[in-house]
Structures are given as structure tokens and as C-alpha cells.
A and B are shown apart, each in its own frame.
Chain A
């Protein structure tokens, strides 16, 4: 089992078959995570490097854990702790990774396209862990996995993404991925936080959250960054909470079957009330767990390119 690609940079040019292959592989990976001994030797001798140019807690931790569960050698380099801080260029850092024998480089970077640049310049596989507002494919895949786990087939589901779509790589990757699997995707938020011509990505666009919430199967709520308010994109946190916050009242309106998601970290009491985040409809903690499984699946499918049908049991 393998992906027919060296790198995994986004879902824009990934086929539905490939997405399904990753999701199926993640099922097996999640099974490993529920065992008493949560480790398999699959990637023994392989080297995974986490190259984080942007602060991240959960994604970095998730990738670390995923690599360790598969017995890969894993190292994390972040902006503050290496020569990156001295202004070493991405190209030189990449070349260093290469000669150190990295098989997979996981990169998080604030500049869109940084993962592609890295991929074009090294022979190791590159896995995009978020590049600016461009793409965050593993987050989208774990979201899709979580939806599938809860509701079964993706095709035909109505998925609403709420909040700061303009600055969100999570939203973009979710839109590409969900559309490929046949979901109907909508976005809702203040016009200032919706990017231009987003409708051409194949989504319905709402400024009115209550209108958007009619008939939804999934509501994925994005984190609102406080600096967006400071830069004048919306008037106040109070107003955002009132108009775009997911609260108890709105939860009741969408019905018991609908699933609540959040990629984290949450601003409890702002974009999502605790009563919603902790409700039985929320899969937010499950998302975190599924994230490890998805990342194990991708590391396996990329690093294990030349491994032959390695037995996961």
C-alpha cells in the first residue's frame, strides 16, 4: 500500500481514491492506538524531521507521537531552537535535513507555498503541516475521518465551516477534501473574514449564521484570532460572540444528530460556548485522537513507499 506521490502538500490535487486510501489506513492506525502496547515497528530505521517555523503545540505533538508509534526516529526543530533563528534560509535548512538522512520532513511555515518550495528542493518526502493560509491537509483529513466515524458516508452530508475563513488553511483544505468526497460545504462568517471569490471553490456563502445553520449535519467552528479584531476586521469580541458564536441556543436549533467540531485551540466563550464544546454532539477531543491516526497513516504511506505490505499487526 502506498501513495503514488513523493510529497503530500494539500488536498487540491489529491483524488477521492487517495483520500479514501488514507482514511482506510488510518482505521488500522487507530486500532494500534487502542492497544495496550501502542507501538509497531513499521518505520524502524526511518527518519522523520518535524520542521516547525511557526509555534504549534498540538500539531507538533501529534506528528511526534505518530512517528514514535511507528518506531521512526523523530526530531523536532522549531524556530527558536536552531539556526533557523539565525536567519538560515529555508533552502539551506532543507539541504541540511537532506544530508542528515531525513526520509520525511514535516513542515509548518507561515508562508504559503513554503512546503512546495521545500518539496521541490529535497528528495525526501515532504508533508505539509500547515503553510500560511494555504493548506493544512492533515487537519482536514482528521476532520473528515472524524465526521465519517460519527456519521458514516461523507457524500451528501451538509458541512458548515464557521468563522475566519479568510485566514484559515483548515477551511481551505476541508473545502477541497469534502467536495471531492461529495459533501455539500457552506461557509459562514462576517464578510471581512471571507476571502474574495470563495464561492468559486464550490461552497455556499453565508453572512447570517442562523440562516446557515438550517439543515446542517456538521458544524466546524474555527478559532477567531484576537488580532483580527485589532486590525479592524470586526468591531468587538462581544459582537462576534453574539452574531457568530456557537452557543447553546444555536446548538438546540441544529438538532441532536448534528456533529460539532473545532480544530483547536478553542476560545471558550467566544466562538464556541463550553456547553457546546463539551456536549455529547461534540467530537472535539476525538479529533485530537484521530489526528494521530491520520498522521501515522500518512507517514506510513509516504515513508513506507518502498516497504512491501508491511504487516501492521
Chain B
């Protein structure tokens, strides 16, 4: 059975698509792209006034399995990804046990076989992500991990980080770096500044991130590894990375939608859903990150999807878990706040949220072209919708955007030619 997407506005900068087209899908692949493909008894999707782009790749996701299945599973996390408009996610290794050995990675491979989207495993840098001894990096590489990261924890010991970078460079794996000096962040629970002062909450200074960004740029320069800074959140970090990039250091970085949109003032009601690591930063930081986005200076956007249970996020702000469930709001937010008003283009988004992550992880991403895998989404830019936690496919309902009205919604996700998510008419349906 062939599927024909009719009259869509198709974008793909690397395949020179930015006009109205029809797309014919057969099996797993795109078989034809043309301005007018005749319906020969195909399953037809009327995409007039809709946008078709490659399904996004989120390189920073916590699927929580094994160990924290009450927060998320590979199955539910991938359903959330499908709903959010993604065809692939990279899974962070801070599960229980940590993905510091081939058994855990194999387990993830096994679970991923049944999942709706592709899952790229990330292995830990150090055993148990404790920052003390190197994981079996070579074996992890052979098991198919696409990157190394101790995300959730920094590698505090500079010597260990140096050796990890040196060792990993032989296996051609990037290091995704959670930059945080624990001595500076201490018992902090929000960004340190005026608002932490008046809310009486312990602060995490911007410097806690920036000193580690600086240190690891130096180490990356020394070792030649590809360093990718995870969830960059401050003006100072951005300056350090830009400066290093200009010098030719092999460093890239990602920014999350929440760090692009929310400031530390959001915490005023002590809503635990605004508690995240790194914390929501100052107005100045957010302005600078938005400026960088609009100037095309951001390499990658990634959610840092961090699902938690209701109980994890209930009660006192100090005791609540860190993290935001982001897969199902990311694209809607980016469209509503940036694409809709032409602050960035669809092509910019596709670079930051598809091609770049694929390059960093060294995974296939051919985009929308004849013969390529049919990984694409149909997006309705005119549709207004309200963020409702209870409609999330993710087990993690922890979003600070609940109740927000957004314009523009993903309506169909195709992964390898198969429709895995259908939200036409508000169906919000996952299809296996």
C-alpha cells in the first residue's frame, strides 16, 4: 500500500525543498517527490496548508529504562517522541544500572526493537557515572553506543575527564558533557540571582556551569575529541563555546526549549515543574540565547526530556526531582515562539534539530529525497492547542508549560514509512 501526501509545503534545506510538493511513500521509503503526483488508488493524506519536514532527532532524552520504569519506559518514551514529531532519540545512560557495560546497552537494543522510533544508546563515561573509573568505552562502542556521557552528573575529576577524552578518541565517539562544578552548585535548587534571593532558595551560580565548560574546552583542545556541551544555559557558556569554535576547537552545543523560553522568575510559585538542571536562568541569559538562536549560532536543540512521577514532583521545591518532560511540547513551542513569527525558518529548525544531531551522533539522515527512509512529519501551523499534561503519551507529566496555548501542532509522524502518530482532528492516536 502506497501513501500519497498531497499539496504539502515541504522543507528540507539539504535537498533544496521549500515549496509545494506531493510525496509518495512505499514501504519504508520515499519513492517520489513531485509537484503533482496522480492518485492511483493510494492512501491519500490531504496536506494542503500543512508543512512537511524530516521527523526530528532528539539527541538528549532520558528513557529511564531499566530501573526507573515508573517514570518512563522505552515504549512510552518513544510514543512521546512519535507524538512530538521525532523519528529518533538518543537515550542517556543514567538508568539503574547505568549503561556503563554492554549488558545494559543490549537490553536497550532489545527494548528498542518494539519501540515506535529509533533509539540511539549513549554509554556512560565512567562506571556508574560516578566520575571515578572509566567505563568499558571500547566495548560500549562495539555494542553500538553513539556517544559517551555521564549526564546528570559532571565528571568532577579533571584527570579522569582528560583520560576519558584521550581513550574515547580512538573509538571516534563524541563526549556529551554535563557541565557543572558540584562545589559551586552545592545544595542549590535554582539559578543564583535576585529571584533566588527573594524566594529564599539556594542558588546555583552561572559560574558552576561556566567553569566546567571552560575546563572541558581546554581538555578537548588538548585531546582533539569532539566535545558536545549538553543543555547550555548561560551567556558565559555561550561566549566560551563560540570563542572555542572560532579557534577551531571541535566543540558543539545544544540548548533546550525551556532554557530558550523560561527565566528564573517562573519559580515564584515554587512549582516543582519549574525545577530543572541546569536551572532556568536569568532574563539576560534567555535573551542572549534567543539572540543566538535568531542569529543562527546554535548548533543543536534538544529537549533533555526528563520524565518524573507525580510524587517525584509533589510538595516542597527543595525536595522535588529535577527535570522537565519535553518531547511533546518542543516542536509546538519552537513553532509558536520562533518559527511562526519568522525569527527562525523551518530550514534553520531542520538544521538544528535533524541534520546537526545526526552528524554529531554519526547516524543516517538523508532528509526528504527519493530513496531515503520516509521519516517525516505533517505539521499543521494554523492549529491552536493547549498543553494538557493528561494528554501526554509520556509517563512524565512534569511540564512547566501546562495550560499554555500554542499555535502549530504536529499531526502525523511517519517512521520508516509507517504512520506511528495521527492527531488529525485531535485524535492523538499512537499507531503500532
Contacts and interface: CB of A to CB of B under 8 A. Distances in A.
12 contacts: A111-B317, A111-B318, A112-B200, A113-B269, A113-B270, A132-B200, A133-B202, A134-B201, A172-B200, A196-B193, A196-B196, A197-B193
A89 B193 CA distance: 30
Contact of B270 (A91, A117, A200, A201): A117
A169 B198 CA distance: 9
B194 interface: yes
Given A112-B318, A113-B317, A201 B203 contact: no
A91 B314 contact: yes
A201 B198 contact: yes
Interface string A92-112: 000000000000000001111
B196 A195 contact: yes
Nearest to B282: A197
Interface in B251-275: 269-270
Interface string B261-305: 000000001100000000000000000000000000000000000
Interface string A281-298: 000000000000000000
B316 interface: yes
Contacts of B316: 90, 109, 111, 113-114, 117
Nearest to A168: B200
A175 to B, nearest CB: 9
B314 A89 contact: yes
A135 B200 contact: yes
Interface string A1-18: 000000000001000000
A114 B200 CA distance: 11
A201 B197 contact: yes
B385 interface: no
Contacts of A201: 197-198
B244 to A, nearest CB: 27
B282 to A, nearest CB: 9
Interface in A149-181: 169, 172
B171 interface: no
Contacts, number: 65
B42 interface: no
B315 interface: yes
Per CB-CB distance, the 8 closest pairs between chain A and chain B, nearest first, are A113-B270, A134-B200, A133-B200, A111-B316, A112-B200, A197-B194, A195-B197, A111-B318
A198 interface: yes
Given A113-B270, A116-B270, A90 B200 contact: no
A197 B191 CA distance: 12
Contact of B197 (A111, A114, A196): A196
Contacts of B200: 112, 131-135, 169, 172
Interface in A163-220: 169, 172, 195-198, 200-201
B199 A113 contact: yes
| Interface bin, chain A | 20 to 34
> Which residue, A12, A89, A135, A196, has most C-beta atoms of chain B within 10 A?
A196
B194 A196 contact: yes
A131 B317 CA distance: 12
Contacts of A91: 314-315
Contact of A89 (B194, B201, B315, B317): B315
A90 B194 contact: no
> Which residue, A91, A117, A172, has most C-beta atoms of chain B within 10 A?
A117
Interface in A1-38: 12
B315 A134 contact: no
Contacts of B199: 112-113, 134
Contacts of A117: 270, 315-316
B189 to A, nearest CB: 9
Contacts of B315: 89-91, 117
> Which residue, A90, A113, A135, A200, has most C-beta atoms of chain B within 10 A?
A113
Given A195-B197, A196-B194, 8 more contacts: A89-B314, A91-B314, A109-B316, A113-B270, A113-B316, A116-B270, A195-B203, A201-B198
Nearest to B201: A112
Interface in A50-109: 89-91, 109
Contacts of A113: 199, 201, 269-270, 316-318
Nearest to B319: A111
Interface in A223-241: none
Contacts of B314: 89, 91
B192 interface: yes
Nearest to B314: A91
A82 B318 CA distance: 22
A134 B268 CA distance: 11
